[in-house]
Amino acid sequence: MSIHFNQDSKIFEIDTNHTSYVFGINQSGGIQHLYWGNKVKSGDCNRLLVPMLRSSFDLHIENEREEYSPWGGMFYAEPGLKLSFSDGVRDLKMSYASHEIKEDSLIITLKDEHYPLEVDLVYMVKEQFDLIERNAIVRNVGKDPIMLENTSSAVWMIPDMNEYQLTYSFGYWGGETQIKKQNLSEGKMVLESRKGITSHNHNPWFAIDNGNASEESGEIWYGALAWSGNWKIVIERNTYNNLRVVGGINDFDFSWLLEGGEIFETPVFVGGFSDKGFGHMSRNMHLYERNCILPKKHANTLRKVLYNSWEATGFSVNAENQISLAQKAAQIGVELFVIDDGWFGKRNNDKAGLGDWQINKEKFPEGLTHLIKSVRDMGMEFGIWVEPEMVNPDSDLYRTHPDWVLGFSTRKGSLGRNQLVLNLAKDEVKTFILSFMTELLSEYDIKFIKWDMNRAVSEPGWNEAPLKRQKEVLVKYTKNLYEIWRTLKEKFPDVMFESCSGGGGRIDLGIMEYADQFWVSDNTDALDRLYMQEGFSTMYNPKTMVCWVTDSPNGFNKRNLSLKYRFLSSMTGALGVGGNLRKWSDESLEDASRYIAVYKQIRDMVQNGSLYRLSPPSTGNTVVQYVEDKGRGSVVFMFNQSLNFGMNKFHVRLKGLFPDVSYKVTIDEEEPFTMSGSGLMNVGLTIKYKGEYDCKLIRIVAE
In the complex with ligand GLA, the residue whose CB is nearer, 270 or 449, is 449
522 binds ligand GLA (CB under 6 A): yes
In the list 274, 313, 392, 454, the residue contacting ligand GLA (rule: CB under 6 A) is: 454
Does the CA dihedral 619-621-622-627 come out positive or negative?
negative
The closest of 72, 79, 76 to 94, measured between CA atoms, is 72
Nearer to ligand GLA, 20 or 419 (CB): 419
Note whether 452 binds ligand GLA by CB under 6 A: yes
Instruction: Give 341 or 381: the residue with its C-beta nearer to ligand GLA.
Output: 341
How many residues in the shown chain lie near ligand GLA by CB under 6 A? 11
Cross-strand pairs, 339: 384
Between CA 128 and CA 185 the distance in angstroms is 34
User: Which residues, numbered 310-329, are part of the site for ligand GLA (CB under 6 A)?
Assistant: 310
Backbone conformation region of residue 253, classed left if phi is above 0, alpha if psi is from -120 to 50, else beta: left
Shortest Å distance, C-beta 137 to ligand GLA: 36
To the nearest whole angstrom, how small is the minimum distance from the Cβ of residue 306 to ligand GLA?
12
Stretch that binds ligand GLA, among 99-107, 156-164, 253-261, 497-505 (CB under 6 A): 497-505
Pick the closer one to ligand GLA by CB: 168 or 173. 173
Residues in CB range of 572: below 8 A, 6 or more apart = 533, 542, 545, 547, 606, 624, 626, 637
Task: Give residue number: closest CB to ligand GLA.
Answer: 341
Spatial contact of 254 and 149, defined as CB atoms under 8 Å apart: yes
Phi then psi for 369, rounded to 5 degrees? -55, -40
* Residue 337 found at the interface with ligand GLA (CB under 6 A): no
Encoded amino acid at 100, one letter? E
Strand partners, 155: 246
Kindly list the distances between the CA atom of residue 431 and the CA atoms of 331, 354, 425, 427, 514, in Å, as whole numbers in the listed order.
40, 17, 11, 6, 18
Distances (CA, A) of 625 to 111, 425, 610: 50, 44, 8
500 binds ligand GLA (CB under 6 A): yes
- Number of C-beta neighbours around residue 673 at 10 A: 11
Who contacts 464 (Cβ-Cβ below 8 Å, separation ≥6)? 403, 426
Provide, rounded to whole angstroms, the least separation between the CB of residue 453 and ligand GLA: 9
Does residue 340 touch ligand GLA according to CB under 6 A?
Answer: yes
The Cα–Cα gap between 55 and 611 comes to 50
626 counts as binding ligand GLA under rule CB under 6 A: no
- To ligand GLA, the closest distance from the beta carbon of 195 in angstroms equals 15
Rounded distance between C-alpha atoms, residue 667 and residue 665, angstroms: 7
Q: Which is nearer to ligand GLA, 122 or 326 (CB)?
A: 326
Closest CA to 452 of 538, 543, 343, 379: 343
Applying CB under 6 A, does 519 fall inside the site for ligand GLA?
yes
Residue closer to ligand GLA, measured from CB, 130 or 522: 522
The answer to whether residue 502 forms part of the interface with ligand GLA (CB under 6 A) is: yes
Active site residues: 452, 522
- In the complex, minimum distance from the CB of residue 519 to ligand GLA, in angstroms, rounded to a whole number: 6
Find the shortest distance in angstroms from Cβ 240 to ligand GLA.
Answer: 46
DSSP secondary structure string, 29-79? S-EEEEEEEE---GGGGGGG-S----BTTB--GGGGGBSS-BS-SS--S--
The angle at the Cα of 147, spanning 143 to 148, to the nearest 5 degrees, equals: 120
Considering only residues 225-264, where is the footprint of ligand GLA by CB under 6 A? none
The secondary structure of residue 693, as a DSSP letter, is T
Q: With binding defined as CB under 6 A, does residue 498 bind ligand GLA?
A: no
**Closer residue to ligand GLA in complex, CB, 209/498:** 498
* Only segment of 137-145, 408-416, 499-507, 669-677 that touches ligand GLA (CB under 6 A): 499-507
Q: Contact at 8 Å (CB) between 19 and 273? A: yes
Nearer to ligand GLA, 173 or 639 (CB): 173
Options 333, 503, 656, 679; binder of ligand GLA; rule CB under 6 A? 503
Of the candidates 118, 120, 341, 534, which one interacts with ligand GLA according to CB under 6 A?
341
Between 383 and 502, name the residue whose CB sits nearer to ligand GLA. 502
Site membership for ligand GLA, residue 385 (CB under 6 A): yes
Q: Looking at 58-66, 351-359, 498-506, 662-670, which segment touches ligand GLA (CB under 6 A)?
A: 498-506
Is residue 242 within 8 A of residue 61, CB to CB? The reply is yes
Question: Which range in 85-93, 181-189, 254-262, 496-504 contacts ligand GLA by CB under 6 A?
Answer: 496-504
| Stretch binding ligand GLA (CB under 6 A), from 107-115, 293-301, 495-503, 639-647 | 495-503
Q: Binding residues for ligand GLA, per CB under 6 A? A: 310, 340-341, 385, 452, 454, 500, 502-503, 519, 522
